[in-house]
Amino acid sequence: MAGRLLKLSSLATALFASSGFYLNSRQLDLNDLSVIRFGRAAATTAVISYDYLTAFKHVEYGTEEYWALKSKVHRRSAERLLDLCCANRGTFIKVGQHLGALDYLLPEEYTSTLKVLHSRAPQSSMEEIQKVIREDLGKELSELFVSFEEKPQGAASLAQVHKAVLHDGRTVAVKVQHPKVQTQSSKDIVVMELLVRVVHWLFTDFAFLWLVEEAKKNMPLELDFLNEGRNAEKVANMLSHHTFLKIPMIHWDLSTKRILTMEFAEGGQVNDTDYMKKHGINVNKISENLGKLYSEMIFVHGFVHCDPHPGNVLVRMCPQSKKTEIILLDHGLYQSLEEDFRVNYCRLWQALIKGNMSKVEQYSRRLGAGDLYPLFACVLTARSWTAVSSGISSVPVTNSEDVEIRTNAALYLPQISELLNRVPRQMLLLLKTNDLLRGIETTLQTRASSSSFINMSRCCIQAMARHKRSKVQSRRRRLQINLAESLCLWQLTLYELYLWVKASMLVHWFSALLAFVQ
């Protein structure tokens, strides 16, 4: 097996090198050619597979030496994967970013290495940007804008954003798609699917076809910027009652499938604690409000923004109202949850918060976890089974527990892969979203605060009441549901008040103690 892989690797490398030499002499961009992109991906896959097949031959499984070596193999494989993503760019970077976000599902060596892809996305030249604008809008930059900054505000895997000023004086952000992404993406996904199937044939425990399936389904949607604009308007209307949320307004007359022009919104990234401190922004309030937004999106509406990495979530002190705002960007990737899935997911979280283990098992099984429901509960909450069994709202997160969870991601990778292939496809983007939100909470040091569980519980109560009302016709029954909902929400508000009073008294007592000691 290892010999076959070595030959395959050598052949792929030779093909890649000779093709590269020939095409370089003709002054062509290698990244435009499918054979080069495939050869590079095949060679990287072969080298990584060969490393895993041969590295552990003379090491006893389960020993300290084995785990140390496995960590090194994970690390160098992740670095090879990173190099591949940076070389092939486009879809490869997008998938690499997705993997880097799965903190509690993949070994730490992979997630920490691939996270840098959020800041290492490629940039298109100004000539390429002008060409896309000319082709799609039919005019030159000077005809459309008074000014257009050449240096992008940010570059992502599929596009980059430039700041510009319209002729009426309004400042806008112009998101322009990298010109070659559209033609390359479908071919790249075919390559990924083929290589993932080959790796699964070599290592039966490796079952990451779900990742390719998600990319195949979501990439066309993310490459259609008109779809992104529609999502932005939909979520802005849906959450308009949250005055702290800012969704930039879309300029439809200057938008196409490859160009999205929107209101320019400035702020600091949600993980930039120095920015928040400098501008007097309360990190606890930001974390609480972010939790409110996502709890409502998931449990109440079933329409979820699935890419909340820090570059897409900005915070600022509004110059007009002097209140803290959250600015939500990049609306290309949304997940619409089916009614039955959303209701079962809602009931599962209610059981997890309360520590009702029979209900945790019941609703985990309904969501496809089967006998792997304990692992599913741990993956979903990023908590240990001990914490899950006790009720995650009553057991605080500790550093040792966090280390345990990350370690288990490496130990139980085959079971996690099997679980991800079992659960409904809707669950996959939710798991990614959960991990990204947890990463923000960890940076802000607000992880698993009582307010987050209260917000989740409130949204679960509202979602279940809405679901029950949709199933009945009787006015009397509707009134009963409304009263039960109001009672539960009132009890939750009283509990929240109790926690606030308790915290205030504790602060007062501590201050008095300090004064006495001094």
Enumerate the active-site residues. 307
SS3 19: helix
Listed in order, strand segments (DSSP E) in 53-197 are 145-148, 154-155, 159-166, 171-177
> What are the residues whose beta carbons fall under 8 Å from the beta carbon of 46, sequence distance 6 or more?
5, 8, 9, 12
Residue of 46, 18, 12, 44 lying closest to 30 (CA atoms):
18
Please, is 292 exposed, middle or buried when counting C-beta atoms within 10 Å of its C-beta (0-12, 13-18, 19+)?
A: buried
Strand partners, 145: 166
Crossing angle of helices 283-295/450-470, nearest 10°? 20
Alpha-carbon distance values, 86 to 91, 114, 172, 275 (Å): 10, 10, 29, 29
Q: What is the DSSP letter of 299?
A: I
Look up residue 463 and give its amino acid. Answer: A
| R_g of the chain, CA atoms, integer Å | 25
Strand partners, 314: 269, 327
Please, is 208 exposed, middle or buried when counting C-beta atoms within 10 Å of its C-beta (0-12, 13-18, 19+)?
A: middle
CA distance 330 to 307: 8
Token pair, residue 149, equals: 């900054």
Token pair, residue 461, equals: 């109560």
SS3 352: helix
CA distance 428 to 105: 11
Strands 171-177 and 159-166: antiparallel
Listed in order, strand segments (DSSP E) in 277-378 are 303-305, 313-317, 324-328, 334-336
Answer yes or no: are the C-beta atoms of 430 and 368 closer than 8 Å.
no
> What are the residues whose beta carbons fall under 8 Å from the beta carbon of 445, sequence distance 6 or more?
283
Token pair, residue 254, equals: 């200057």
Strands 245-246 and 324-328: parallel
> What are the residues whose beta carbons fall under 8 Å from the beta carbon of 375, sequence distance 6 or more?
369, 412, 415, 416, 419
Token pair, residue 63, equals: 């020993």
CA distance 40 to 34: 10
Answer yes or no: are the C-beta atoms of 15 and 216 closer than 8 Å.
no
